[in-house]
């Protein structure tokens, strides 16, 4: 039977009929069609036995055989395990249904009366830690510049905003989520820029990370695998995922950048977050075109606007209507 996502304390998924599980490649899978129908969604083949489209009130999900990337409303969301084709049907792991698909298709609601008010922004690196470097351009400079612009926009939108650093200084990773906790932040956003040494002219785009669920596979480039223990940040798994999705959707659609997807990692700043958290890799400093944009205040203003709109979208989705 399809279980509940027990690590998201404030989330109650919509009721569904029993969904049988099968053991494939050592993992517990469910039929996509049966899972979708049981959740009140409509599955149909786009390409028989290869690509399945699922229509829900929240939008459209597309799954492809042998792929780890799902598409939800045109946004790439990485799964922990590939979709499997068997007996003329597509199967997805039960864990991916619970931890990667349902939090977006059925947004988790905050407890009655709770509101998103305070945002903690974490400009990556600082001080003795420059982050990525492209020529004279240091990542730490541009994450702080983006955070300062984003603070202004979020404040105008009615949010209370705190920064983990407001100048060029080093802050240990464990202290960053602790600053968010001390300020009773409702969301924690870590801001970074990417770089690629081997494919500077071709690798570009945004990707947003949220914490990997306990025991699941991560998708960060350092190849972090499964088997990770439960950590405090996992209590917000559903909210983490939805927040990351809202950010990636807004960045890719508002800025028309390449969609590198919603991904999972066990970064220290995400592991210890007491509130929903995501880490934004907003673009590649190393790309000859995208890098020049990142170094531009005009483009960072547009980027901040996309992130601000994502926060507002997340707020609307999770706050209960009175």
CATH number at 118-318? 3.40.630.40
Spell out where the chain has E strands: 21-24, 27-31, 42-47, 51-56, 59-64, 69-72, 75-78, 84-86, 89-93, 118-123, 133-134, 137-138, 160-163, 187-194, 206-211, 259-265, 277-284
pLDDT tens string 199-217: 888 999 999 999 999 988 8
Q: Assign a CATH topology to domain 21-105.
A: Copper Amine Oxidase; Chain A, domain 1 (3.30.457)
Q: What count of other Cβ atoms lies within 10 Å of the Cβ of residue 67? A: 15
Residues of the chain with CATH 3.30.457.10: 21-105
* Alpha-helix runs per DSSP H in 90-163: 94-96, 102-105, 139-156
* Residue 45: C-alpha distances to residues 17, 39, 272 (Å): 22, 18, 41
pLDDT at 4: 27
Closest CA to 244 of 122, 75, 117, 25: 75
What is the pTM (predicted TM-score) of this model? 0.92
Average the pLDDT over 231-241 and give the result.
96
Q: Let me know: does 294 contact 285? Beta carbons within 8 Å.
A: yes
pLDDT at 112: 83
pLDDT at 263 over 90: yes
pLDDT at 31 over 90: yes
Q: Let me know: does 84 contact 72? Beta carbons within 8 Å.
A: no
Residues of the chain with CATH 3.40.630.40: 118-318
């Amino acid at each position: 039977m399809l279980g509940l996502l027990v690590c998201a304390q404030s989330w109650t998924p919509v009721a569904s009929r029993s969904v049988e599980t099968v053991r494939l490649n050592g993992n517990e899978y469910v039929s996509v069609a049966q899972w979708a129908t049981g959740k009140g969604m409509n599955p149909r083949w786009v390409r028989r036995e290869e690509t399945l489209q699922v229509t829900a009130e929240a939008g459209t999900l597309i799954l492809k055989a042998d792929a780890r990337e799902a598409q939800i409303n045109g946004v790439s969301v990485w799964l922990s395990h590939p979709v499997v084709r068997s007996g003329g049907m597509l199967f997805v792991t039960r864990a991916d249904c619970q931890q990667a698909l349902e939090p977006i298709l059925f947004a988790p609601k905050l407890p009655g009366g709770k509101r998103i008010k305070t945002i903690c922004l974490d400009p990556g690196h600082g001080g003795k830690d420059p982050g990525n470097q492209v020529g004279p351009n240091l990542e730490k400079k541009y994450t702080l510049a983006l955070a300062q612009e984003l603070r202004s926009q979020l404040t105008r939108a009615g949010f209370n905003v705190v920064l983990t650093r407001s100048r060029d200084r080093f802050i240990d990773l464990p202290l960053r989520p602790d600053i968010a906790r001390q300020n009773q932040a409702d969301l924690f956003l870590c801001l970074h820029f990417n770089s690629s040494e081997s494919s500077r002219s071709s690798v570009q785009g945004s990707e947003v990370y949220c914490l990997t669920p306990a025991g699941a596979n991560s998708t960060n480039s350092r190849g972090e695998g499964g088997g990770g223990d439960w950590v405090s940040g996992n209590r917000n798994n559903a909210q983490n995922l939805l927040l990351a999705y809202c950010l990636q959707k807004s960045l890719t659609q508002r800025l028309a950048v390449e969609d590198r997807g919603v991904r999972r990692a066990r970064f220290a700043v995400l592991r210890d977050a007491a509130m929903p958290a995501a880490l934004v890799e907003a673009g590649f400093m190393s790309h000859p075109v995208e890098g020049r944009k990142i170094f531009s205040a005009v483009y960072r203003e547009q980027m901040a606007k996309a992130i601000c709109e994502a926060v507002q979208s997340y707020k609307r989705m999770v706050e209960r209507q009175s």
